[in-house]
Amino acid sequence: MPDQELLSTEPATGAVLWRHPIGDADTEVAIARASWAAWAARPLAVRIEALRRFANVVRQRADAFTDLLARETGKPLWEARTEVETVIAKVDISVTSYSERTGQRRIEAPMNTRLALRHKPHGVLAVLGPYNFPAHLPNGHIVPALLAGNAVVFKPSEKTPASGAFLVDCFHAAGIPEGCIRLLIGGPDQGKALASHPDIDGLLFTGSANTGIALNRQFAARPEKILALEMGGNNPIVVWNTPDLYSAAVLVVQSAFTTAGQRCTAARRLIVDEKLFEPLMAELNKLIGRLIIGEPHADPQPFMGPVIDNNTADMLTESFLTLSTMGGRPLRHMERLIENRPFLTPGMVDMTEAREKVDVELFGPILQVFRKASFEEAIAEANDTRYGLSASLVSQDPRLYDQFWANIRAGIVNWNKPTNGASSAAPFGGVGWSGNHRPSAYYAADYCAYPVVSSESEQARAAMGVGLRDA
């Protein structure tokens, strides 16, 4: 029946891409619960080999995976291909991270004592994935979780379920036990049922701040469960004291509009020296005017595709108008390129003189601009947010970068680089409303296993020299 089935449609065309019955959280968690102990008991070398087979399966299916990701998200083929490559690379990165951050080791101790540090898996971990990187981001949780010996129940976004199903099928094809990586298809109701399930040992989440905060409240009374929140950002890019305004414009465009602005690390706010404002805007407008916006398989390849769906496009259009009614001055109007399809052109609005500001993550190609007279004012503006994920400075002055790095409040701080494009070989996370101090990527190993310290001796030898009466 239609109400028991989830459909996925292509943003670029509106065509139905995939359909699947809605799943049941109780069933999937029970299967994972019955399977994880045997998987955890296998030697680490066996789990590593299984995950390397997974990487090979993805490599063999890379073209089909790329095509599916592009069709389901609307992102260009070149970007979907990069996402598949990141899924493959995650395995070796996770193996190195596991060894470095959660491996076994001996600790020096007093005579006749040895201390051993080992790590144990939590058990059954739930993973909730987002739609903007429906393979790469959940895979960043799943691979280290499986490597540590956990079983996983993965619920992909209801907007990109086909990509999640393809990913899980690759794990199964590699010989990872089907009971240890389960797929839960569904919408918000299934996500809530999974997150609140009494038989999960933790939740690994990537998504919006509002959802993450709700999960944080829900888990507040369950300290025995691990909760890793990877949320969004209201990220600043600051342009100050730089002669190469074309390069600055390129970095701003890459930061704000790659993936149609649908990245948690996308620049939402451009903060610029008021003396550079006019020439930088001229460069930005010329560059934005040259951007190709089109469907994933277009030739030549587009810079960006549509946003995820029409509802999102409507919301972003309304948000742009709201910024204007608050006193923002449109610098480049956002336009709907095709009626009833979610293709949007980048929009920019000068909020310097606005009556009020909104500290929200507008998840799309909208850039708010703020002109400032001093670098100290620029840093204060950059920090004027509840979020704290990513921040970037474009400047030729290393002293300004030292000041920026020391004073900016963010988990990722870049210099003459975009706000996005973070490496999986480094920790990824933020502060404030951007996360709960459990960075992912290279540090995902930290929340996929817990440390166990053992004081050990091969023989029981003990004596008491104080506090005893004479025999």
- List the domains of the chain with CATH numbers: 2-231+435-456 (3.40.605.10), 235-415 (3.40.309.10)
Pairwise CA distance, residues 446 & 119, whole Å: 10
Beta bridge partner(s), residue 8: 18
- Give how far Cα 259 sits from Cα of 8, 79, 124, 263, 376, Å: 19, 8, 32, 7, 31
pLDDT confidence of residue 458: 81
- Answer whether the bond into residue 43 is a cis peptide, omega within 30°: no
Structure confidence by residue, pLDDT tens digits, 260-273: 999 999 999 999 99
Rounded Cα gap, residues 16 and 6, in angstroms: 11
Q: Please name every residue paired with 271 in a beta bridge, in sequence order, or none if there are none.
A: 238, 370
Give me the pLDDT at residue 111, please: 67
pLDDT value for 461: 81
Alpha carbon distance 126, 145 (integer Å): 10
Query: Which residues contact residue 383 at a Cβ distance below 8 angstroms, ignoring those fewer than 6 apart?
Result: 407, 408, 409
Q: Which two tokens stand for residue 429?
A: 């996370």
Beta carbons of 312 and 364 less than 8 angstroms apart: yes
- Per-residue pLDDT tens digits for 174-185: 999 999 999 999
**pTM for the whole structure:** 0.96
Catalytic residues: 230, 264
**In percent, how much of the chain has pLDDT > 70?**
99
Please name which of 192, 173, 172, 191 lies closest in space to residue 182, comparing C-alpha atoms.
172
CA distance 103 to 117: 8
How far apart (Å, rounded) are the C-alpha atoms in residues 399 and 224?
45
Q: How far apart are CA 135 and CA 131, in angstroms?
A: 9
> What pLDDT does 3 receive?
62
At 204, list the tokens: 């690994």
Q: CA-to-CA distance for 362 and 235, rounded, in angstroms?
A: 11
Give the residue ranges of the chain where pLDDT is below 70.
1-3, 111-112
